[in-house]
Amino acid sequence: MIDHYQISESLTGLVVFEISEMEFCTDIKNVSAIINPNELNQPGLFANSEPKIQINDLIIPIIDIHHFFGVKHKERSKDNRIILVEIQDKVFGFFVERVKEIFSMSKGFKNKMKFSTGYENDYLLGKLIYESRQFLIPDFSKIAGIN
């Protein structure tokens, strides 16, 4: 069972990103980096069926997060980003259509948030509702195969 109070109290900030016109978010403390793939000197990145990026001496797998939510990739654009996430010492990246914004967690922001669950998708922790916006919260532990 997910403890929504614990989730909201532990949030340090949110990275809001778009996948196939849906808004998702994750706690900023899970994000290692946000990379513009167009600036990487890795020509086969988009054509590879199991893409990886190399940063310094690390080879980081890129997971197709779209697959977990049953949505298709949109056309590549200058706004595409790779978000690197670190969960329990496992680092992986995933493509997003764009990073929309980054929120810092003020007390006023936390007081306006609500969580809900009940999604049939096993790869979602739930939904965060802030004012009139709804952000889906991916379960990166399940996506990365950690459990």
Q: Domains for the chain: give ranges and CATH numbers.
A: 4-143 (2.40.50.180)
DSSP percent split of the chain into helix, strand, coil, nearest 5: 20, 45, 35
* Nearest of 99, 89, 86 to residue 34 by alpha carbon: 99
Predicted confidence (pLDDT) per residue in 93-127, tens digit: 999 999 999 988 776 676 778 887 766 788 998 88
Q: How does pLDDT run across 33-61, given as a tens digit for each residue?
A: 999 988 887 666 666 667 888 888 888 99
Q: Is the pLDDT of residue 7 over 70?
A: no
Consecutive H or E run containing 7: helix 4-10
Decide: 86 and 32 in contact? Cβ < 8 Å.
yes
